[in-house]
């Protein structure tokens, strides 16, 4: 029997945050500032890498792709989030919602693969330093980056298609500040089995496998570092991968909590809090972590400031 009053071409309402107007204003200012800092910091990293010959290395090449991804990811989510803080309800079209869902899933997929590739890069740099540059040639780096982006393009296709086929009845209110999978599926009045199995099936393949690759890389890295006789040598070796390791830890702590757990344990209020963390706080922290932990970036910033002051 067909559901009553269902629609395939309808607008949704993003409920956003339930809080007082004063708290909304404060949160709007904080998130807007965080977004602007994230954009500026990542654009600065991209500019520094592409204009500084000393940074023309595989590690920094992948970092520019990571920064570009962070810019795109935050831009997909945060403008609608800010709109929701200014208004009680934000209307988003069905196709706008599907587009946002696709690009959020796309960004997460690319980041998973890219972090795994960056882990492999750090493994080669520390465990096979004599062969590092012969393996990580510019053409090979380009191919690895291409794999991460093309994977991100392909992986979200089927979940997005299944969601596009869902029917929605009278309730069009998404209890979130963006079109995430769980809140969308919850509204559907049709069979969501294929959408759920496809989404969580892909998440449970992509996320753990990339995570395992990173764990294997760092198992070899830590073993190699512990075998370095001098304390200064161990410290130097660890500093080359500390930024990546910190970013990976933050990323997988939030993603595994959000997407690789039983649906019965979902609490949408808690999910919104975690979503704010990985869509606002984490992208803000990532360029700061890479800047503070990376002597190459620090030196490039100092040189750029000196040139500006001299002129």
Domain coordinates in residue numbering, the chain: 11-310
Strands (E), 15-146: 90-93
Q: What is the CATH number of domain 11-310?
A: 1.20.1070.10
Q: Which one, of 188, 195, 205, 208, lies nearest residue 157 by Cα?
A: 195
Task: Say if pTM beats, i.e. exceeds, 0.85.
Answer: yes
Determine contact, residues 167/188, Cβ cutoff 8 Å: yes
Residue 173: count of CB within 10 angstroms of its CB: 13
- Rounded (10°) CA dihedral 274, 276, 282, 283: 150
Residue 242: count of CB within 10 angstroms of its CB: 17
Measured CA angle at 194 (ends 81, 188), to 5 deg? 50
Q: What is the pLDDT of residue 293?
A: 66
Which residues fall within 8 angstroms of residue 84, CB to CB, at 6 or more apart? 14, 15, 16, 17, 90, 177
Q: What is the pLDDT of residue 29?
A: 94
Choose the most confident range, by mean pLDDT, from 45-59, 137-151, 186-200, 201-215.
Answer: 137-151
Which residues fall within 8 angstroms of residue 58, CB to CB, at 6 or more apart? 121, 132, 136, 141
Summarised one tens digit per residue, pLDDT across range 236-291 is 777 778 888 888 888 888 776 665 554 444 555 666 777 888 889 889 988 888 77
Summarised one tens digit per residue, pLDDT across range 68-105 is 999 999 999 999 999 888 887 788 998 999 999 999 99
Summarised one tens digit per residue, pLDDT across range 141-161 is 999 999 999 999 999 999 999
Q: Chain-centre distance of CA 167, in angstroms?
A: 29
Q: Which residue has the higher pLDDT, 55 or 88?
A: 55
Whether the pLDDT of residue 220 is over 70: the answer is yes
Which residues fall within 8 angstroms of residue 308, CB to CB, at 6 or more apart? none
Quote the CA–CA distance of 7 and 171 in Å, as a whole number.
Answer: 11
Token pair in block for residue 24: 């909304």
Q: What is the pLDDT of residue 268?
A: 58
Token pair in block for residue 249: 């830890």
């Amino acid at each position: 029997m067909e559901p009553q009053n269902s629609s395939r071409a309808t607008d949704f309402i993003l409920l956003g945050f339930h809080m007082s107007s004063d708290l909304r204003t404060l949160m709007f200012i904080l998130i807007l500032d965080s977004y602007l800092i994230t954009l500026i910091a990542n654009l600065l990293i991209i500019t520094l890498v592409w204009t500084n010959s000393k940074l023309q290395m595989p590690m920094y090449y992948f970092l520019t792709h990571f920064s570009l991804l962070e810019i795109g990811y935050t831009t997909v989510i945060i403008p609608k989030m800010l709109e929701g803080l200014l208004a009680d309800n934000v209307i988003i079209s069905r196709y706008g919602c599907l587009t946002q869902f696709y690009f959020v899933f796309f960004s997460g997929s690319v980041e998973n693969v890219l972090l795994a590739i960056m882990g492999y890069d750090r493994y080669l740099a520390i465990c096979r330093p004599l062969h590092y540059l012969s393996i990580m040639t510019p053409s090979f780096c380009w191919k690895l980056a291409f794999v991460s982006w093309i994977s991100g393009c392909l992986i979200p296709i089927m979940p997005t298609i299944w969601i596009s086929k869902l029917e929605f009845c009278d309730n069009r209110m998404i209890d979130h500040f963006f079109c995430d999978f769980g809140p969308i599926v919850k509204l559907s009045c049709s069979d969501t089995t294929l959408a759920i199995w496809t989404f969580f099936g892909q998440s449970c393949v992509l996320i753990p496998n990339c995570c395992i690759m990173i764990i294997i890389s760092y198992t070899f890295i830590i073993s190699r570092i512990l075998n370095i006789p001098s304390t200064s040598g161990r410290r130097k070796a660890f500093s080359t991968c500390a930024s990546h390791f910190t970013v990976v830890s933050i990323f997988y702590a939030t993603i595994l909590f959000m997407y690789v757990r039983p649906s019965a344990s979902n609490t949408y209020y808690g999910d919104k809090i975690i979503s704010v963390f990985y869509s606002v706080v984490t992208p803000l922290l990532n360029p700061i972590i890479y800047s503070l932990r990376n002597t190459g970036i620090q030196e490039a910033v100092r040189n750029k400031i000196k040139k500006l002051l001299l002129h």
